[in-house]
Each structure stands twice: as C-alpha cells, then as structure tokens.
Amino acid sequence: MELHYNQYQLWLNNNIVISRWKARESVPFFCSNLLISLPHQTKDVTNLTSTVSTIDELPGLAERVIKQFNDCRIFIFYGQLGAGKTTFIKQLCAQLGVTDSMSSPTFGLVNQYLDKDDCPIYHLDCYRLEKESEAWDIGLEEILDETNYCFIEWPDKILNLLPENYVRVEITLKEAQRTFNFTTAR
C-alpha cells in the first residue's frame, strides 16, 4: 500500500486532494492528524476534495469532477440548506451541455434536462419524500438507469434503492468557503 504523507501535504496545500488506491484489508494509516481506515473488502476508492471561495470557481470544479468520475453517472449530494447543492448541480449540467433553464426540483421531486446529445439528465430532490416506496412513483427505476446522469439531493430516503456505483458529494460551508468532498467506492 503506497500512501505518503508528503503527497497528501502537497495536495492539501493546493486545496485539492485526489487519491486512488486499492484496499485489500482494514489498515489504519496516519497522515498528520488524519486517521484513514481503509475498507475490508477490495474496492477501488477515488476521492477528490476541493475548497472554493467564489461561485466563479464552480465551472472549473464541475469540469474536473466530470473528468475524474467519468465512469459514474449517479451523484448523491449532502449538505445543509443553502450549502450550494443545487447551484453546483447546475454547473455539472452546464458542463454536460444542458442549455435548459435549471431549478431545484423540491416540489416536483424530479427535473429532467437534455444534454448536448439529447440524452436525459435527472435531478432529484428527495427532501419531501415520506417513505422509500414513494420513489418508485416518480419513475426511479428508469431514472437510475446507469447510462444517464442522475444528481440526487437529500438521498437518505432512497439509499437502499441506489446501485453500488455512485459518487457521494459532501458540501460543507465554513465562513465564505465551501469544501466539496467527492468519494466513490466500486
């Protein structure tokens, strides 16, 4: 296993952390004050962490995310109200060639956009779902077809229905900065 403190230190100083490793057993690894416990089963884990200070930095981040996770189509978003989930999803959609007007699907639960190739992109907001079974009523089976991009806000109510291959996006807000942490394990 090859993870080096100097590599992490360099990446942390640039406000971007990218790591990729294969983990075969649970091994604690110390990096300064961080303790990383790798998973038991063999999984290919990819992380990307970036901190932005202005909305003008989001298109560049969205472009990097689409390239970094080009084999993933489902992204689940976590963050407090006002963290920027919908704003960042708009940037991801723009990078994919969506020219339609985009908004939060809070009341309609799902919005569908078309990318530059006329392929559907889905944007779900599960905040108002009362129970998991309601997700099937909005066409979740078709939406989760892993050939289409799907961006899901407040995914906790449908986690059991998601396929294994997705990107978890956590957005934290501290003062005027937002930190985006993207993780996937396949």
Among 58, 97, 63, residue whose Cα is nearest residue 179: 58
For strands 43-52 and 16-23, give the pairing.
antiparallel
The Cα 88–Cα 110 span in angstroms is: 16
One digit per residue, pLDDT tens: the chain, 186 residues?
A: 333 333 333 333 334 444 443 333 334 444 344 444 444 444 567 889 999 999 999 999 999 999 999 889 999 999 999 899 999 999 999 999 998 887 777 666 888 999 999 999 999 999 888 888 888 888 888 888 778 999 999 999 899 899 988 999 999 999 889 999 999 866
Domains of the chain from N-terminus onward: 5-185 (3.40.50.300)
Tell me the whole-structure pTM to 2 decimals.
0.74
**3-state DSSP: the chain helix, strand, coil percent, rounded to 5?**
25, 35, 40
